[in-house]
């Protein structure tokens, strides 16, 4: 592990082969297809679906996936928390693929680079590749090794291309994973293959940071996860109280007390009923 940790510090990323078995890869592809069939973001064959652990519990197994999480825990000083989860289907370019320009992850106001130089390691992302990506035209993830140590992020006018000097297209077998620094310059090449490319990304951060794709996790999810997985959800009252889960309320809105799943459904039913009444009887009706 120590050699890969040192490589991460130098290059800003590491690739780990054979993290997922072929059966796991197939199961995740099937689950992503199910998400796509219900998603409003599934347009032209392209999908970018967030907060996927709330939508299919199969993805929860990746929260603390043994191989990748051991590196995440080491890189985040022993205190990682789950910041975001995302599934992506990147189809053939002719099907309105969405090539991603050069960028870095994290906020813009301020960016991590503004906190200190070089940018601190306070957010890392783990990507799981569910297809073989062995040619230059498969919608490859492209990275610029060492760019997390640069004083600035990529210029906004920089085109989506691997023509940047020293840029590297990642060519991997299905089941491989990449772990990369939030300040690493990266982009995605268009997919010119007939087969759509499937991937999953889990973001991790330090406890005092904010989750990216949710304000709080549902009670249903928390009741179904294993203890060590719940502890990583960032659902705590105070980040200085390590692994203290929040009480059964929706954060920021004490009126939406949800002591149980049935109470949640009851609240939702009342809201929907009021909306229907207003639609037909006017806004003066509660």
- Which residue bears the tokens 């993830």? 141
What pLDDT does 254 receive? 46
**Residue 262 pLDDT grade (very low, low, confident, very high; cuts 50, 70, 90):** low
Q: Buried b / exposed e across 203-213, counting CB within 10 Å, b at 16+?
A: bbbbbebebbb
Model confidence band, residue 267 (pLDDT cutoffs 50, 70, 90): low
**pLDDT tier at 11, thresholds 50, 70, 90:** very high
CA–CA separation, 257 vs 254, rounded Å? Answer: 6
**pLDDT tens readout for residues 163-186:** 788 999 999 999 999 999 999 999
Which residues share a beta bridge with 49? 87
pLDDT in tens, 104-156: 998 877 888 888 889 999 999 999 999 999 998 888 999 999 999 999 888 87
Burial class (CB in 10 A: 0-12, 13-18, 19+), 9: middle
Which tokens go with 184?
């690493």
Tokens (6 digits) for 116: 């200190």
Residues 209-238: what's their mean pLDDT? Answer: 83
Q: For residue 60, name the pLDDT band (cuts at 50, 70, 90).
A: very high
The candidate with the shortest Cα–Cα distance to 201, out of 70, 80, 48, is: 48
Give 2-212's CATH code, choosing from 1.50.10.10, 2.30.30.830, 2.60.120.620, 3.40.50.2300.
2.60.120.620
- Pick the closest to residue 80 from 196, 251, 202, 262 (CA basis): 202
pLDDT at 218: 81
- Whether the per-residue pLDDT at 200 is higher than 80: the answer is yes
Confidence grade of residue 249 (pLDDT, cut at 50, 70, 90)? very low
* pLDDT average, residue stretch 41-60: 90
pLDDT at 159 over 80: no
pLDDT of residue 251: 47
- Give 285's pLDDT tier (boundaries 50, 70, 90): very low
pLDDT over 90 percentage in the chain: 51
Tell me what pLDDT residue 257 has. Answer: 42
Q: Please tell me the predicted confidence (pLDDT) of residue 107.
A: 83
Helix axes 66-75, 2-11, angle to 10 degrees: 60
What pLDDT is stored for residue 56 in this prediction?
A: 93
Q: Which two tokens stand for residue 14?
A: 């590491």
Confidence bin at 162 (pLDDT 50/70/90): low
Q: What are the residue ranges spanned by the domains of the chain?
A: 2-212
């Amino acid at each position: 592990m120590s050699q890969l940790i040192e490589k991460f510090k130098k290059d800003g990323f590491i690739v780990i082969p054979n993290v997922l078995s072929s059966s796991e890869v197939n199961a995740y592809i099937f689950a992503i297809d199910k998400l796509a069939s219900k998603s409003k973001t599934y347009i032209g064959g392209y999908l970018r679906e967030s907060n996927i652990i709330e939508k299919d519990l199969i993805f929860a197994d990746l929260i603390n996936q043994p191989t990748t999480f051991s590196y995440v825990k080491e890189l985040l000083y022993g205190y990682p928390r789950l910041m975001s989860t995302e599934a992506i289907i990147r189809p053939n370019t002719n099907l309105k693929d969405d090539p991603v320009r050069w960028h870095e992850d994290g906020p813009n106001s301020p960016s991590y680079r503004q906190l200190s130089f070089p940018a601190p390691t306070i957010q890392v992302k783990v990507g799981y590749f569910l297809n073989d990506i062995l040619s230059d035209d498969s919608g490859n993830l492209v990275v610029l090794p060492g760019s997390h140590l640069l004083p600035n992020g990529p210029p906004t006018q920089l085109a989506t291309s691997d023509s940047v000097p020293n840029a590297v297209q990642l060519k991997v077998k299905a089941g491989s994973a990449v772990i990369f620094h939030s300040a690493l310059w990266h982009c995605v090449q268009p997919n010119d293959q007939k087969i759509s490319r499937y991937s999953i990304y889990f973001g991790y951060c330090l406890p005092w940071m904010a989750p990216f794709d949710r304000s709080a996790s549902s009670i249903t999810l928390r009741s179904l996860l294993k203890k060590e997985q719940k502890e990583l959800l960032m659902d705590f009252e105070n980040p200085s109280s390590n692994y203290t889960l929040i009480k059964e309320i929706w954060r920021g809105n004490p009126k939406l007390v949800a002591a149980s799943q049935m109470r949640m459904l009851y609240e939702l039913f009342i809201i929907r009923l009021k909306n229907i009444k207003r639609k037909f009887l006017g806004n003066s009706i509660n």
